[in-house]
Structure 1
C-alpha cells in the first residue's frame, strides 16, 4: 500500500458508509452523489489492497478486514478533527482542547460535574469526553490519543502514570415496587432465587461479584449480563431482576423508579485517574482530576482514597475474600 495514494475524501466516504449503513445514506450525509461515494470506496480498496465491503446487488456489508480497518480510520479522522480544533485554539489564543477517555460509570455521572467546577475561562471551547471500555481507556491514554483517563482497576500498565486511586462498595439496585426496598441493607441470600443483573467483563468487576456469592455458598441465576452498569439499572427498574453494580453509576445518576441499597458484603469497586507516562499534565487537567476526586468523595457514601503505592496490594485483593457487614 502506498500511503501517498490515500485520500481524506475516500476515508470520509468509507467512514460514512460504515456509520450510515449504506452508500445511499452515506451520500446523503456527505452531500455527495451516490456514484461519487461508490467510486471513492473502490479507489480506497484499490489503494489498500483488500475489500472493505462485500456487495450483493444493492446490499453491502463490511468485510472482516473492513471492520478492523474502520477502527483505524475512525482514529485517524478523529485525530485530524482534534488537530483542527487545536489549530483554531492556537490561532485565537484560546485554551487548548483536550480529550478525556472514561469508562461509562464516570462519563454519565461524576465527570461532567467535575468539569462544571472549573471556571469557564479556564476551559477550552472544545472538550472531548469519550466513553470507552476500561481496556480502551488505558490504550487511549498510553498511546497519547487522550490526555487523561478514568478507569477501573487494574491499571498496571507501563505506558501510564496513576494520579490517584479511589474505591467504594458495590450496591444493589431494585425496582421501587420490589419488596426488597423495605430492607435497609440487602443480603446476598435474598438474591439466591432472584434473577441477577450485572456487568460481564471477566477481568474487572464481575469476578469479585461472583467471588462474593461463592464465599456465601450461593449460586444466583444470572439473568442479564451487560457491558454498562446504566443498562443494568434500567433492567432492574423494569423489574427484570436485581442489579449488583458499581456505586458510581448507582449514586451518581439516580433514576426514578429504581432504588439503591447497600449490600451485606463489601465488594470493592476500585477506580483511578491516569495520564500518559512521563508526560506533564496540563494545569486544567490537574484541576479536573482534583475536582473529580472531590465529587467522588461527595457522591459516594463510603469513598476511600488509596495511595498509588497501594496499587499492587489492591490488585492482589481483587480476587480475594469479601468482608461481611451486619444487615
Structure 2
C-alpha cells in the first residue's frame, strides 16, 4: 500500500469524481483510476460505486476514509515539521480544542498570547476535536495542551484550572421572547428545543433541568456542536439551550442570546500531559485562556483544580468515585502538584478513561 494510492483515494472521496481528483493532485485521470484499482486489488474490496462521471464511497470505503484521512494528516505534519527543521524553526505549539472552545475562546486567547510575546502566529497548530479526541491528542503527544469541557476522568492529564459559566438560551432576534432580558424554562414550554445529542454530556444537565421544571418540549432537534445549534436557531427551527462560550464568543446575526433561570453549568478548562513538562509557550497559553474566558463570560467562576474530583462526583454520582480523584497530593512522582491542599496547584487526574462534557 503506497501513500500515493491513499492520496488518490482521499482525493476522489473529497471531490466526488476521478477527473476532479486528478486536477487536485496534478495527475491524469487514467493515473488516478490506476491507483484506485491497485488499492482495491490489494484491499480485496471495492472502494467506490460509480454512476456516470460521479463516484461515491462504498460502506467499506467510507469507513476506511477516516483512517486514511488521519494517516495523510500525519504525513502532512511530518512534511511540515521537516520543512520547519530545514528552516531552523522550532516545534510549533500544538493545540487541541473542542469545537465550542476552538471557535469561541481560543482565538481571543491566542491574540493575548501573541500580544504577550509567548508564541509567534506561524508556530501554532490548532485541531478542533471531540472531547475524547482532545484527551487522546494530549496523552499521545499530538497536542501540547487541550481546551476541553469538564469534568473528565483520565489517567495521565493535568487539569490546570476549572472555568464555570451558566448555559444560555439562543433564539431568533425577531422571536417575541427575545424582548425579555432573560428566559425561564417555562418560556420554553410548547417550543421546539435544540440541544446537544450526547446524553452523557451537557444534554444530561439540560434534561435534568427541564424535567425538574416540568417543561415538556414540543419537539427536539439534536446536534453535536453548538455552531450547528445556532445555525438551526437562525433558520427559525427552535430555541437552543447551549454552552455560553460559542454563544458569546462568535459574531452572531439575527440571533439573541439570553440568560436562563436554571442551574445548568458549563465546565471547561485547560489540560496538559502529566508525563511531559509544559513548554513556556504552553504555560503562557494556559493563563491566556483563563484571562480570555474572564473577559468573554461575565459570570465566569474560576475554580481550583482540587475541586475537580468533587465536581465529577456531584454531576455523575458514583461515576466519579475513584478514591483519590479529589486529592491533589496523590499524583505520583510527576512534580505537577505541590503538597495536598495547595489550592494553586494544578490537579492531576489519576483514574480510568471516560471523558464527560
Distance 2:234 2:305 in 1: 36
Report which stretch shifted further, 90-99 or 164-173: 90-99
* Aligned equivalent of 1:220: 217
In structure 2, stretches of 5+ residues that fail to align are 318-357
Report matched runs for 1:83-94 at 5 Å. Answer: 83-94=78-89
User: Any conservation in 2 of the 1:154–1:204 contact (CA below 8 Å)?
Assistant: no
Report matched runs for 1:49-198 at 5 Å. Answer: 49-51=43-45, 53-56=47-50, 58=52, 60-119=55-114, 122-123=119-120, 125-198=122-195
Once the two structures are TM-superposed, the CA of residue 56 in structure 1 deviates from its matched residue by 4.1
User: Any conservation in 2 of the 1:161–1:278 contact (CA below 8 Å)?
Assistant: no
2:257 is the counterpart of 1:260: yes
Distance 1:32 1:204 in 2: 46
How high is the TM-score relative to the length of structure 1?
0.88
Distance 2:5 2:123 in 1: 26
User: Any conservation in 2 of the 1:172–1:263 contact (CA below 8 Å)?
Assistant: yes
How high is the TM-score relative to the length of structure 2?
0.81
Once the two structures are TM-superposed, the CA of residue 126 in structure 1 deviates from its matched residue by 4.4
* Aligned equivalent of 2:343: none
2:35 is the counterpart of 1:40: yes
Distance 2:180 2:203 in 1: 24
2:269 is the counterpart of 1:275: no
Once the two structures are TM-superposed, the CA of residue 277 in structure 1 deviates from its matched residue by 3.3
Distance 2:71 2:309 in 1: 35
In structure 1, stretches of 5+ residues that fail to align are 1-5, 321-327
Give the counterpart of 1:286 among 283, 304, 329. Answer: 283
1:27/1:296 Cα in 2 relative to 1: closer, same or farther (>3 Å)?
A: same
Aligned residues: 314
Distance 1:301 1:64 in 2: 47
* Aligned equivalent of 1:323: none
Give the counterpart of 2:309 among 290, 309, 312. Answer: 312
Cα RMSD (Å) of the superposition?
2.1
1:126/1:19 Cα in 2 relative to 1: closer, same or farther (>3 Å)?
A: farther
